[in-house]
Amino acid sequence: MSKIKETRLFLLLIILAIFLIYKNFTFQSRQKIIKGLKYLQYECLFDEDCGGWGDRLKGVLSAYAFAKILNRKFVIKMIKDCDLNNFFEPNDIDWDYRKIPKNLSSIELKYGSNIDYMNSIKTNYNVFQTDKPLIRFKASLMLMNVIPEIPIFRNKTKLLGQTDESKIHMAYFLNDWYEQMFKLKKEFRPKYKSFLKRLKPNKHTKMICAQIRLGDTGQYAYRDKDLQKDFWKFINKTFLIDKDPKINYTLFITSDHEKVKKEAREIFSDIEVVFNENSSLHIELLSKENKCKQVEDILFDFHLMQNCDIGVVSHSGYGILGLWNRPDPFKDLYVYTKRDQNDMRNDYWMRKNMTFLKFSKAEDIYFT
């Protein structure tokens, strides 16, 4: 072998050795980074009472807020009845729980829906200082709203992108965070576009969204009979009688009872009334057959409500959060509730003699 060939071979071996050393170094560095990562995971598992979709979303967004404050990677493991991954795919925030390491040492923080947790978290906050690689977070409240009142998190609200502590409220974060988290899976996009084409065919159209919750069988004694008729009267009187001739109104109806949606089509025969067939369910009260389809219909209706120009909704998490999921969360939002909100605080489930209040700022309506 000539000296030139030997030199070339020698140089080639040196280059190969350098490349292998570099690859090994970067691999080891990545492994150290992965091992050093800590996670905060919102959980809703098979046998748990996670509340309705509004309750779950309160938990998801609160979990994300705490993850940002604690500098932990945020993931969602919502697998009850149907894995959330079947309907949504991650957008800018990769929340897919299937991508994190298995069998991590963890601590469970369970808050449920009891309003007392809004106060107890302000003093029992040491659990957030855990060194465990995984925090499993379960909640159905807007716990993120009290972050400025938790001593160890004071002066850290800038980590949420907000320096004004008075603006640390879910209403002001929901639309941005929801958009960063969730993207419809490809198979649901044609249906979504079809609905929007009917509801907002041109710039002169205003989309009214009515979310009407009649309640479960056990709640009928605490609610007025045929309360949907109050919605029809309010919508007609407030928007449709003497309406601006330059504006075309459409009506999107979502409800926990199918008869309500069909009744709306009969009442408002002069305008386009649109609803998702057979989506009248509460996510905690699904029938045994085809649960994934039922969950998909519930999430589809909610996802569509981010396009509402006007909201007329029940005093429920699903409706209120559905309308907060807009760039201007309080724009033209009306809630079917008690005239005196102290009555709601004192007896939240008594829903007789209700009226419509304009929800213009967070303090207007009692909502946790």
What pLDDT, in 10s, does the model give residues 134-150? 999 999 999 999 999 99
Domain range summary for the chain, segments of one domain joined by +: 39-183, 189-364
pTM to 2 decimal places? 0.88
Rounded Cα gap, residues 159 and 148, in angstroms: 12
Domain made up of 189-364: CATH architecture: 3-Layer(aba) Sandwich (3.40)
Q: What are phi and psi of 99, to 5 degrees?
A: -95, -5
Give helix 170-181 / helix 53-70 axis angle, nearest 10°. Answer: 90
pLDDT at 27: 44
Residues 228, 250 contacting (CB under 8 angstroms): no
Q: What are phi and psi of 279, to 5 degrees?
A: -105, 15
Residue with tokens 């509402």: 308
Q: Which tops the pLDDT comparison, 167 or 11?
A: 167
pLDDT digits (tens, 9 = 90+) for 261-303: 999 999 999 999 999 987 777 777 776 778 899 999 999 999 9
Tokens of 342: 């102290």
Fold assignment, 39-183: Rossmann fold (3.40.50)
Q: What are phi and psi of 181, to 5 degrees?
A: -85, -45
pLDDT digits (tens, 9 = 90+) for 68-108: 999 999 999 999 999 999 999 999 999 999 999 999 999 99
Buried b (16+ CB within 10 A) or exposed e, 30-50: eeeeeeeebbbbbbbeeeeeb
Average pLDDT of the chain?
91
Same fold, 39-183 and 189-364: yes
pLDDT digits (tens, 9 = 90+) for 212-246: 999 876 777 778 888 999 999 999 999 999 888 88
